[in-house]
Chains A and B, each alone.
Chain A
Amino acid sequence: MKPEDIISKGECVYKKPSLLTDANMHYCPGCSHGVVHKLIAEVIEEMGMEDKAVGVSPVGCAVFAYNYIDVDWVQAAHGRAPSVATALKRLNPENLVFTYQGDGDLAAIGTCETIHAANRGENIAIIFINNAIYGMTGGQMAPTTLLGMKTATTPYGRRVDLNGHPLVMAPLMAQLDGTCYVTRQSVHTPGAVRKAKAAIRKAFENSMAGKGTSMVEIVSTCNSGWKLTPAQANEWMVEHMFKKYPLGDLKNE
């Protein structure tokens, strides 16, 4: 059977979610952001929350997330997404409010806001993209950069004596009474993508059920910043990132 026949007579089992806009994403080829955007769009669509979802985009590569997922958005100042989400949700509890933050946004400049929003148990979902590097500004060290990892500001590799230790956010978040769900996922294989999607769905459902704060950390690649091909970046992530940031649920209440 020819492909044309399969396409015309067969069943479409996968297509771009309609909530993902037709705009070409500005992300580098192979960037994990695109996969996570797609999953968020799919989950919102499947939950039927298109009219109630409000996303909060960060400062960083994902600042333009609002161009790609067709829901209402607020673009937050660097690190302040959890504060923005706090007010959005408290003032309009019927809305599905989520933040989308990178490691610089969530774990450096916005650590205070992240910890306090979670500790208050705000009914929001936090999507945390951890690729251990600052992508947009050109590959500088992130708080989550691994020891020995070369970046634009650690050209000889991150050193404890100079740069301190990688900051591991998920256990910090899990110990807060306000969080109900803290999980680490990835999107490098089809299986991982399916699990990540289920995690995002759970986080969104928790927020609508008023259970408190959920954080889905996506251990991600930044192949441009890491100076690897997308496929190599996935391998490097499995080998190195997963040791420091192992996948799985840290808290699920």
Chain B
Amino acid sequence: MAKIKGAVVVDVERCKGCNLCVVACPLDVLELQPREVNNRGYHFAYMKNHEKCIGCQSCALVCPDGCISVYRIQEN
């Protein structure tokens, strides 16, 4: 059966670490960087569990700063 795999790219310097994408993700893919910060001092979002991502765009839709691009592919 075909399986949808997804991945997101976070514009790290645009991200303000508001955590709304983390909360919106239904599959616990995202997390805020616990230690690293961007140039403006924010703990930015990243894919902690990338293998779970299905490219549903929930994170990107609620992102207030338009930081997230979502990619999707059908895996056979």
Contact = CB atoms under 8 A, between A and B. Distances in A.
* Whether chain A touches chain B in the assembled complex (some CB pair under 8 Å): yes
A90 B24 CA distance: 42
Contacts of B23: 231, 234
Interface in B1-36: 5-7, 9, 11, 13-14, 16-20, 23-24
B56 to A, nearest CB: 8
Main secondary structure of the interface of A (DSSP, over half): mixed
A229 B61 contact: no
A78 B20 CA distance: 31
A230 B75 contact: no
Interface residues on A, range: 35 or more
Contact of B57 (A13, A27, A38): A13
Given A3-B47, A10-B71, A231-B20, A16 B7 contact: no
Contacts of A38: 63-64, 66
Given A188-B62, A230-B19, 8 more contacts: A10-B55, A12-B69, A13-B55, A16-B67, A30-B20, A33-B64, A190-B56, A234-B23
B60 A14 contact: yes
A186 B43 CA distance: 26
Interface-central residue, A6, A20, A188, A231, by most chain B CB under 10 Å:
A6
A29 B73 contact: no
17 contacts: A1-B75, A2-B50, A4-B7, A6-B7, A7-B9, A9-B73, A11-B73, A15-B70, A24-B14, A24-B40, A24-B65, A25-B64, A29-B16, A30-B64, A35-B63, A231-B20, A234-B23
B58 A190 contact: yes
Interface of A: 1-7, 9-17, 20, 24-25, 27-35, 38, 187-190, 193-194, 229-231, 234
A9 B5 CA distance: 11
Contacts of A9: 73
Interface-central residue, A4, A31, A190, by most chain B CB under 10 Å:
A190
A101 B70 CA distance: 30
Contacts of A33: 64
A228 B32 CA distance: 18
Contact of B71 (A11, A16, A32): A11
A230 B61 contact: no
Contacts of B55: 6, 10, 13
Nearest to B15: A29
Contacts of A24: 13-14, 40, 65
A194 B72 contact: no
A27 B60 CA distance: 17
B69 to A, nearest CB: 4
